[in-house]
Structure 1
Amino acid sequence: MPISQKLLDKLGQAKAQFEIVGHRQVFTAFDAAATLKVKLGEVVKSLLVKVGKDFYLALLPADKNLDFKKLAKVLNVQVSKISIPKEKVMTAAFKVKPGAISAFGSLYKIPVVVDQSLTKVKTAVFSSGSFVESLRLKVKDFLAVENPVLGNFTVARKINKPKRLARPVKRAGGQSSKQSLRSKPKQAAGLKAKRKSKQVR
């Protein structure tokens, strides 16, 4: 699915300099960062949120998560009014496939709210509405095109580190058991202690 001509015309009329970045099919900002080999903070995550009966498009760096309480404060609404609509609601309301909503909310006639941390990034990768093409442009140019609401409404994203793999340890009699790599220094220290005690004797 290519980038819509309507979006390209919009950028052209605004005289914004941009680059169309082709890549394999991706469905999340996290996958886009991994595919393009760029930092998570340089990829913009587009989240459709519902505030009462209205829709907003929240944009934030891919290395952060949305904080509902902070967003409620930015929009001056009760936090209970904010929710993430189901995929079928998004499809019915905006005629887009799940995960393919563009960062340019003006295309859907909905307001855009941008996390303040993005203003510290010079150039970022934005969702274009395509699974195989993204847009790279200066953040200041995006702000000029969309004129969004700015505010602080994110928290740091927690990324789980992979666990250390256990390795087999041979025992007397040919049997083997799994031993964590972390336990090796402790065992080595124990052996040194035993050797030292023998020398004392």
Structure 2
Amino acid sequence: MDVVGMLEAAALLVPEGAAGAGDVTVADVWDCLAHDEWEVALGLLEELGEGWTAPTGFWEELGRAAGMLRLERSEAWCRWRAYEDRAGAIRVELTLEPVGGTSFRRTPMPGAGVMRPLWDIGSRRSDGAPDLFVACMWVEYAHELAPGDRAVVRLLPLTPERWRCLAPGDRITLHETAVPGGTGTVLEVRPPASPGSPLPPGPRIGA
């Protein structure tokens, strides 16, 4: 299937009542496709995917189309959303420790899912020490997160079942070393929309 066919297949899955930012609808997507504005159509479909629960295959089709258009960040985002459907979504407001604080980090953390830090989500080992778990991190609406900055991030845990104890308002901490490198407040915990493997393969791009 070519790029147009993939975008058309994804557009056919969008309900007529779905709307994105700026009241974008699937009619706008079809208009872009009619004028061969493929990248714009892809971006609009990504926006529309935020306003409703996409069925299986929607994000996969967009990811394949983005790959054929060589839009690496869009491809990574669509792959991320497809895995969120299988693993569930966790959104956190995260603040990194500033330079000169307790964290060793002196450079921004890349934002497009390439980081797999450890997290203290409140679980404890038998000796009372924190039981840390791995989760990939995607920074919303930014290419990176600098020390001292705050942003909403999405987490994709390696072991989702261990994170099901979380609820909005819970506090968690990010660890790149034994010392916490950031603190976060859980905003949303969404269950899987469909079963499947939770963690995407190793990242291929930067933020």
TM-score (norm 1): 0.24
**Larger helix proportion of the pair:** 1
TM-score (norm 2): 0.24
